[in-house]
Amino acid sequence: MTPRNADLIKQIHDWISLHRDEGIAFLQELVRIPSIQGNETEVQLLVADKLRSLALDVDMWEPDGEMLVTHPYFCSPRNRFTGSPNVVGFLKGSGGGRSIILNGHIDVVPEGNREMWGDDPYSGHVVDGKLYGRGATDMKGGNVSLLLALEAIQRLGLKLKGDVIFESVIEEESGGAGTLAAIVKGYRADAALIPEPTNMRIFPKQQGSMWFRIEVKGRSAHGGTRYEGVSAIEKSMTVIQHIRELEELRNARVTDPLYANNPIPIPINIGVIQGGNWPSSVADTVNLEGRMGVAPEEKLEEAKAEMSRWMAGLRDKDPWFEAHPPGVTWFGAQWVPGCVDPEHALMQVLIQQYREVKQVEPVIEASPWGTDGGLLTVVGETPCIIFGPGITGVAHYPNEHIEIERVFEVAEIITLTVIHWCELDETEA
Amino acid sequence: MTPRNADLIKQIHDWISLHRDEGIAFLQELVRIPSIQGNETEVQLLVADKLRSLALDVDMWEPDGEMLVTHPYFCSPRNRFTGSPNVVGFLKGSGGGRSIILNGHIDVVPEGNREMWGDDPYSGHVVDGKLYGRGATDMKGGNVSLLLALEAIQRLGLKLKGDVIFESVIEEESGGAGTLAAIVKGYRADAALIPEPTNMRIFPKQQGSMWFRIEVKGRSAHGGTRYEGVSAIEKSMTVIQHIRELEELRNARVTDPLYANNPIPIPINIGVIQGGNWPSSVADTVNLEGRMGVAPEEKLEEAKAEMSRWMAGLRDKDPWFEAHPPGVTWFGAQWVPGCVDPEHALMQVLIQQYREVKQVEPVIEASPWGTDGGLLTVVGETPCIIFGPGITGVAHYPNEHIEIERVFEVAEIITLTVIHWCELDETEA
């Protein structure tokens, strides 16, 4: 007997509604373990147990840093991953269906200044329908949506034709070495979905980004005769203005309607400035650090090359830069941009199931930040869409939280999406 | 028998020429003791011994920090002066003559990065007529000129009517607590002379200065959606530009011909900038630190008040500053400006003796930086002129050095100046 889609929707809704308390409790368990970089084992063991309880095959391994560092897309502040295992749960389909990767990162950024938090940063407390704690939104809430989807499918005895690969990865916050390790290990699929905190918007395209450092040179002198020196602080103002013009130029090229609501689709942010070391000396060096957004269709190397060319143009603004060109170096994290056709089949399935559950049209945009989706799409050749229950604006901030209702809504939408993507095997029904 | 001035000049020149080697050796001894802040005892004992050998009364004491901190002109990063004695040598005149303070600081700034030095920073080595080492120019070379003057006067048996007070003070590099302590102890005179490194220019007026810190506020956001935040780095550019305009305004008022050769008589230098803490976050705070030059005739409080009024005008440039006015605080060091009439009697004596020794006209200017002369003039009511053998451009820098010839020339000029100022007592001649 084939359940009609309306029956399926109700069946899934009812099952998830019946298991809300367990879902909330499991998210609390995850949030209460501070899985910052280097401290992911405990939480991953919990995830692995959950996957085993759902009868998935579990693969848990610490990525091989020595091997990974040779990969052109490797980017991490470390090359040893002891204490930081990846976990993959594999649900084998009966064959003939499309496969899907469901990916979520388990690492969280540090809590920062605890005094800015109204409660323990890892409390997991629920107040007024919101669950609080570092990682609640980014992105353990999304991970619980995925696990609820798998649980509903398994508990309801729904058999799928296509394979489902669930990935609980490390290191997304530092450049994606966890997802890269899973790709290198061979985990690929016909498409992928990551429930990063999108406010339930659907992102078929996502901005990439890279960090840069610019050293601006001046010449020291005593502040009382500052005209004998050249202030690197004043020169850095010219550099910042010059970069602002590059940002304008690059954004003027972005005509993608998915960025229609975004005033600066691919920003260049100067986040850190540091220069000089004595109030009464002319500063001879200023260091700028920033983040360059990379368009979904752009390659990281293209964006780097454009920045280099642009910086060379500084000499036309001020001859000082002819003899003292500011050096640009790329350091720290990078996120590969990703781009999936908005008409992609998984987009169609996801949009349809969103409508079914929410009874409204989804918002479809391009993301203003990167995720591991870029690596999945570009390196893993697994087109990846981002859609999740978390609140973009509270990620990385004190008092991070998630609206619990969204976790369950996304769980329902993803359950249905997986079923329609991988297809039900009804031979046993 | 009264020596004619020409004879006196020759007598002094010959005595100093005959004692060049001892002068160089003594300067080497002084330079080889790294008398940075807190480490002045050893060098001051050497100075005290020298003064005693010249039959001066010696007063050596560690300033009373607890008492000094209550003085409105006290400015120091510390309030305990253990290990940091002042030394005063007193040469009593026979009466009826004008008194003079000969002041020089014995503290030196730290050597900084030793790798920038071509030799040991405290070597005292003499190469091509230059003596090298931290403090050689700023201002142990000048101090040796003073001591040679005293020695010539004593060894030649020249009796003076007026008192000579020689002060070897601590703490000039940190705001003048050593000279302030000598003033508070009662050392005053009809005029004063400090042989700071002026390239043998004569400075009857000197710029004061104060350090300030400005906190510029923004609002944090993720760099990918930087338009949701307010960059403190961008706002700081407006603040820096605003301060540049204040500098222009203040300097347009300076019409003193003594500043004719100075493109920016009283500069406002922004020496340090620091803001933001993450490349991909919008910076929510930038701190600026700088030095505000204060005109010779101006009071520190007037300059502070003008800065405060000016900063309030930022709100007219950008409404952001209405709700987020950058706070200005005054911290660290300050140097009181000083102003002596260019026609002052000591100026006339000094200029005349300069002509006698150098056979050219001296350069008379206003200094672009402060010294303890401001405290002597304003607080000690002892009009103070700055004139010394050191090289302005190498003070505080690696490979600091002094041209030895200048030390002896200044010694001759000062010997004659003291004699003419205090007057020879020829009753015993």
Query: Measured between CB atoms, does B225 come within 8 Å of chain A?
Result: yes
DSSP for B255-283, please give it: --GGGTT-SSSS-EEEEEEEE-S-TTB--
Chain centre distance of CA A404: 20
Residue B3: band (very low, low, confident or very high) from pLDDT cuts 50, 70, 90: low
| Euclidean distance between CA atoms A140 and A212, whole angstroms | 29
Q: How far is CA B181 from CA A316, B64, B77, B142, in A?
A: 54, 8, 15, 21
Residues B267 and B398 in one domain: no
Quick check: is A429 in a domain?
A: no
Residue whose structure tokens are 């005959």? B18
Residue A333: band (very low, low, confident or very high) from pLDDT cuts 50, 70, 90: confident
Residues B375 and B283 in one domain: no
Chain B interface disruption, residue of A219, A226, A262, most B CBs within 10 A = A226
Interchain pair A291, B280: CB under 8 A: yes
Closest CA relative to residue B189, chosen from B162, B218, B150, B169 = B162
Chain A hits for B271, CB-CB cut-off 8 Å, are 223, 233, 276-283
Residues A355 and A319 in one domain: no
C-alpha atoms less than 13 angstroms from C-alpha of A353 in its C-beta half-sphere: 28
Q: Helix, strand, coil % (nearest 5) of chain B? A: 40, 20, 40
> Is it the case that residue A411 has pLDDT exceeding 90?
yes
Residues B306 and B370 in one domain: no
CATH number of the CATH domain containing A314: 3.30.70.360
Closest CA relative to residue B284, chosen from B225, B226, B216, B238 = B216
Of A331, A349, A373, which residue constitutes the final position of a domain?
A331
Determine the residue type at A387: F
Smallest CA–CA distance from B330 into chain A, residue: A279
Interchain pair A227, B263: CB under 8 A: yes
> Is it the case that residue B339 has pLDDT exceeding 60?
yes
B341 is known as an active-site residue: no
| Euclidean distance between CA atoms A407 and A418, whole angstroms | 16
What mean pLDDT is predicted for residues B137-141? 98
Phi and psi angles of residue A299, each rounded to the nearest 5 degrees, phi first: -100, 150
What mean pLDDT is predicted for residues B40-46? 98
| Euclidean distance between CA atoms A229 and A231, whole angstroms | 6
Interchain pair B281, A289: CB under 8 A: no
What mean pLDDT is predicted for residues A412-422? 98
Chain A hits for B248, CB-CB cut-off 8 Å, are none
Residue B1: band (very low, low, confident or very high) from pLDDT cuts 50, 70, 90: very low
Strands (E) located in B79-198: 86-91, 100-105, 126-127, 130-132, 164-169, 191-194
3-state secondary structure of A119: coil
Average pLDDT, chain B: 95
Smallest CA–CA distance from B112 into chain A, residue: A277
Which spans in B54-138 are helix H? 65-68
| Euclidean distance between CA atoms B8 and B316, whole angstroms | 66
Strand partners, A102: A166, A193
Query: Measured between CB atoms, does A275 come within 8 Å of chain B?
Result: yes
Closest CA relative to residue B328, chosen from B293, B287, B358, B367 = B287
Smallest CA–CA distance from A236 into chain B, residue: B237
Choose, from B111, B138, B167, B172, the residue flagged as catalytic.
B172
Nearest by CB to residue B224, choosing from A207, A273, A286, is A207
> Is it the case that residue B295 has pLDDT exceeding 60?
yes
Residues A258 and A395 in one domain: no
Burial (CB count <10 Å: 0-12, 13-18, 19+), residue B205: buried
Closest CA relative to residue A232, chosen from A218, A242, A243 = A218
Average pLDDT, chain A: 95
Q: Looking at residue A149, what is its pLDDT?
A: 98
Interchain pair B227, A369: CB under 8 A: no
- Length of chain B, in residues: 429
DSSP for A283-309, please give it: --EEEEEEEEEE-TTS-HHHHHHHHHH
Q: Looking at residue A396, what is its pLDDT?
A: 87
Query: Would you put residue B381 in left (φ > 0), alpha (ψ -120 to 50) or beta?
Result: left
Of A280, A302, A331, which residue constitutes the final position of a domain?
A331
| Euclidean distance between CA atoms B29 and B41, whole angstroms | 14
3-state secondary structure of A424: strand
3-state secondary structure of B402: strand
Nearest by CB to residue A240, choosing from B207, B237, B393, is B237
Closest CA relative to residue B151, chosen from B7, B2, B22 = B22
Interchain pair A271, B283: CB under 8 A: yes
Quick check: is B112 in a domain?
A: yes
Residues A358 and A402 in one domain: yes
| Beta strand pairing call for B202-206 and B364-367 | parallel
Provide the chain A residues 56-95 that lie in CB contact (below 8 A) with chain B. none
| Euclidean distance between CA atoms A399 and A120, whole angstroms | 9
What token pair was written down for B102?
Answer: 């000969």
| Euclidean distance between CA atoms B395 and B142, whole angstroms | 12
Provide the chain B residues 348-387 that lie in CB contact (below 8 A) with chain A. 367-370
> Is it the case that residue A429 has pLDDT exceeding 60?
no
Residue whose structure tokens are 């209405």? B322
Sign, CA dihedral A349-A353-A359-A360, equals: negative
Provide the chain A residues 286-325 that lie in CB contact (below 8 A) with chain B. 286, 289-291, 293
Nearest by CB to residue A271, choosing from B228, B281, B289, is B281
Quick check: is B202 in a domain?
A: yes
Chain A hits for B226, CB-CB cut-off 8 Å, are 264, 267, 269
Q: Looking at residue B2, what is its pLDDT?
A: 47
Query: Measured between CB atoms, does A120 come within 8 Å of chain B?
Result: no
Residue A3: band (very low, low, confident or very high) from pLDDT cuts 50, 70, 90: low
Query: Measured between CB atoms, does B283 come within 8 Å of chain A?
Result: yes
Nearest by CB to residue A223, choosing from B269, B276, B393, is B269
Chain A hits for B207, CB-CB cut-off 8 Å, are 224
Query: Measured between CB atoms, does B41 come within 8 Å of chain A?
Result: no
Smallest CA–CA distance from A371 into chain B, residue: B224
Closest CA relative to residue A65, chosen from A81, A85, A83 = A81
Chain centre distance of CA B91: 24
A99 with A189: CB under 8 angstroms? yes
Nearest by CB to residue B267, choosing from A209, A226, A293, is A226
Residue B221: band (very low, low, confident or very high) from pLDDT cuts 50, 70, 90: confident
Nearest by CB to residue A278, choosing from B272, B281, B367, is B272
DSSP for A133-168, please give it: STTIIIIIHHHHHHHHHHHHHHHTT--BSS-EEEEE
- Whether ipTM tops 0.90, in short, is no
What mean pLDDT is predicted for residues A289-300? 96
Interchain pair A211, B279: CB under 8 A: yes
Nearest by CB to residue B274, choosing from A237, A274, A396, is A274
Query: Measured between CB atoms, does B276 come within 8 Å of chain A?
Result: yes
| Euclidean distance between CA atoms A255 and A245, whole angstroms | 18
Interchain pair A276, B272: CB under 8 A: yes
Residues A85 and A97 in one domain: yes
Residues B116 and B154 in one domain: yes
Interchain pair A271, B224: CB under 8 A: no
What token pair was written down for B347?
Answer: 């100026």
Choose, from A107, A190, A215, A365, the residue flagged as catalytic.
A107
Share of chain B above pLDDT 70, in %: 99
Q: How close is the nearest chain A Cα to the Cα of B240, in Å?
A: 8
| Euclidean distance between CA atoms B186 and B193, whole angstroms | 17
Strand partners, A87: A60, A168
Residues B352 and B316 in one domain: no
Chain A hits for B332, CB-CB cut-off 8 Å, are 279
What token pair was written down for A427?
Answer: 């031979």
Nearest by CB to residue B279, choosing from A271, A276, A280, is A271
Chain B interface disruption, residue of A209, A268, A269, most B CBs within 10 A = A269
Give the residue numbers spanning the domain of A173: 5-206+337-422
Quick check: is B85 in a domain?
A: yes
- Taking residue B324's Cβ as centre, other Cβ atoms within 10 Å add up to 19
Query: Measured between CB atoms, does B246 come within 8 Å of chain A?
Result: no
Q: Looking at residue A428, what is its pLDDT?
A: 57
Q: Helix, strand, coil % (nearest 5) of chain A? A: 40, 20, 40
Choose, from A111, A171, A172, A284, the residue flagged as catalytic.
A172
What mean pLDDT is predicted for residues A70-93? 95
What mean pLDDT is predicted for residues B311-327? 97
Smallest CA–CA distance from A174 into chain B, residue: B280
Smallest CA–CA distance from B332 into chain A, residue: A279
Nearest by CB to residue A290, choosing from B209, B222, B279, is B279
Quick check: is A395 in a domain?
A: yes
- Taking residue B342's Cβ as centre, other Cβ atoms within 10 Å add up to 17
Residue B315: band (very low, low, confident or very high) from pLDDT cuts 50, 70, 90: very high
Residues B43 and B108 in one domain: yes
Q: Looking at residue B197, what is its pLDDT?
A: 97
CATH number of the CATH domain containing B141: 3.40.630.10
Chain B interface disruption, residue of A210, A219, A225, most B CBs within 10 A = A225
Strands (E) located in A336-398: 338-339, 364-367, 384-387
Q: Looking at residue B209, what is its pLDDT?
A: 95
What mean pLDDT is predicted for residues B8-15? 96
Q: How close is the nearest chain A Cα to the Cα of B210, in Å?
A: 9
Residues A13 and A146 in one domain: yes
Query: Measured between CB atoms, does B281 come within 8 Å of chain A?
Result: yes
| Euclidean distance between CA atoms A367 and A179, whole angstroms | 19
Residues B185 and B265 in one domain: no
> Is it the case that residue A2 has pLDDT exceeding 50?
no
Of A296, A331, A366, which residue constitutes the final position of a domain?
A331
| Euclidean distance between CA atoms A20 and A23, whole angstroms | 5
pLDDT tens, residue by residue, B53-88: 999 999 999 999 999 999 999 999 899 999 999 999
Chain A hits for B228, CB-CB cut-off 8 Å, are 393
B127 with B397: CB under 8 angstroms? no
pLDDT tens, residue by residue, A204-255: 999 999 999 999 999 988 899 999 999 999 999 999 999 999 999 999 999 9
Q: Which stretch of A260-264, A303-307, B124-128 has the lowest confidence by average pLDDT?
A: A260-264
Choose, from B40, B59, B107, B284, the residue flagged as catalytic.
B107
Strand partners, A402: A131
Chains A, B: CB contacts under 8 A, how many? 167
Chain B interface disruption, residue of A280, A281, A284, A392, most B CBs within 10 A = A280
Nearest by CB to residue B224, choosing from A209, A241, A274, is A209
> Is it the case that residue A201 has pLDDT exceeding 90?
yes
Residue whose structure tokens are 């084939």? A2
> Is it the case that residue A1 has pLDDT exceeding 50?
no
The number of folded domains in chain B is 2
- Length of chain A, in residues: 429
Residue B36: band (very low, low, confident or very high) from pLDDT cuts 50, 70, 90: very high
Q: Which stretch of B11-15, B113-117, B337-341 has the lowest confidence by average pLDDT?
A: B113-117
| Euclidean distance between CA atoms A219 and A232, whole angstroms | 7
B7 is known as an active-site residue: no
A212 with A331: CB under 8 angstroms? yes
